[in-house]
Amino acid sequence: MLKLQNVYRTYHLGDEQVHAVEDISLDIKPKEYISILGTSGSGKSTLMYLIGLLEQPTSGKILVEGKDVSKLSDDELSVIRNHFVGFIFQQFNLINKFTVLENIMMPAKYAKEKLDFDPEERALELLKRFNMLNRKDFFPNKISGGQQQRVAIARALLMRPKLILADEPTGNLDSKTGEEILNLLEELNKKDGVTIILVTHDHSVASRTKKTIYIKDGKLVGKYI
């Protein structure tokens, strides 16, 4: 489904080169549930941005369903990104001036082509599934952190992506609420067959996924299956 081949992402800070990601090769298959585990600064978010096509590698290749993404234009890339992947972040990243329902429908606004579903209908369906229909007209700053993260998950699912990328999705939540979010992600993987990659520094969170990839100083140092 998605392959990384000897991928590097190097940043230049003055004279110094920082290899945020160094020579990582991965083969991500459909329906996997993988965690990327590593300490702060180890390159987890950079790796996630590369997988999510938000960043291009400095060298190496990324293949999405066999296609080398470095050969695509920015427009082609954004079409793939919009349909193929949904993002979830530690800070939820909802837009406070829009309602819950409007936030969830946001990815449909960026779609350049005609959609084969009604975004509002799908957003309402997701809200119902997440027991949040009664919050649809609320603004994000008027609901709890756990509810905000469920809205962010609904937004990530709107376009029916094959892949969900979650960067420390429980990092801003208390342990009980974090547990509920992890249960929800597990259900999306098991029941809906969504491939999930979860970035975390927390071993107990990583232990909830089917497979863990461990990174240190930008390098892949181990896989536990």
Ligand X SMILES: Nc1ncnc2c1ncn2[C@@H]1O[C@H](COP(=O)(O)OP(=O)(O)OP(=O)(O)O)[C@@H](O)[C@H]1O
Residues at the interface with ligand X (CB under 6 A)? 11, 13, 18, 20, 38, 40-46, 201
Q: Which does 57 bind (CB under 5 to 8 A by kind): ligand X, Mg ion, none?
A: none
Query: Tokens for 225?
Result: 């299956």
Q: Select 20 or 198, whichever has its Cβ closest to ligand X.
A: 20
Residue with tokens 């954004």: 78
Here's the x/- map for Mg ion, 42-61, by CB under 5 A: it reads as ---x----------------
Q: Select 28 or 199, whichever has its Cβ closest to Mg ion.
A: 199
Least Å distance between CB 169 and ligand X?
A: 13
Residue with tokens 């349909």: 83
Q: Select 16 or 116, whichever has its Cβ closest to ligand X.
A: 16
Least Å distance between CB 124 and Mg ion?
A: 33
Q: Select 33 or 49, whichever has its Cβ closest to Mg ion.
A: 49
Give dist(CA 197, CA 212) in Å, integer: 9
Q: Are 8 and 50 in contact (CB under 8 A)?
A: no
Query: Tokens for 76?
Result: 């082609």
Q: Phi then psi for 136, rounded to 5 degrees?
A: -60, -30
Q: Which does 103 bind (CB under 5 to 8 A by kind): ligand X, Mg ion, none?
A: none
Least Å distance between CB 198 and ligand X?
A: 13
35 touching Mg ion, by CB under 5 A: no
Please give the C-alpha separations between residue 101 and each of 29, 83, 124, 142, 192, in angstroms, as whole numbers: 32, 19, 7, 13, 22
Give dist(CA 173, CA 91) in Å, integer: 10
Binding site for Mg ion (CB under 5 A): 45
